Structure 1
Amino acid sequence: MDRRMSAVAIALLLLLTATTYVLADASAIGVCIRNCAQCKKMFGTYFEGQLCADACVKFKGKLIPDCEDINSIAPFLNKME
């Protein structure tokens, strides 16, 4: 009986850990996409919002754009013509 309880406890712990990682990724992606939208509002046609959002999903929110940091948004800016 103790072995069964231990196995169930370990399984629940693993499930909880996996759920935490999934939710953390989803949260980071959400922040990333919201920042893309903010930059699109600030820069208008000079900012590629869709490309930014695609990068958020592709990199799972690891690279969060900051509208005031040119290095973080440079890949998403259009040249002025």
Structure 2
Amino acid sequence: EGTVEDTLSLTGKLTVCGSGRIRGKIQYGSLQTEEGAKLVGEITTDWDRAAGEPKVSSRLEAFNSGVNMSSDKGALDA
């Protein structure tokens, strides 16, 4: 709740309630916002501290390799 207009830097989880407003330079480890929360400014995260590497979905892997995942007309073909 409330409003912050300043630089905000933390390595942990930033939680912004629905009535929360943050304006400024914002750096966080992870982010949770409720519907209605507002963030304005330069917003960054530290990817090196983020939990694990991003996972590649099987559909993206199939697209990259040209494998047909379904029999739909929009299916991927080699």
State TM-score, norm by structure 2: 0.25
Q: Which has the higher contact order (CA 8 A, sep 6+)?
A: 1
Q: TM-score, normalised by structure 1?
A: 0.24
Higher strand share: 2
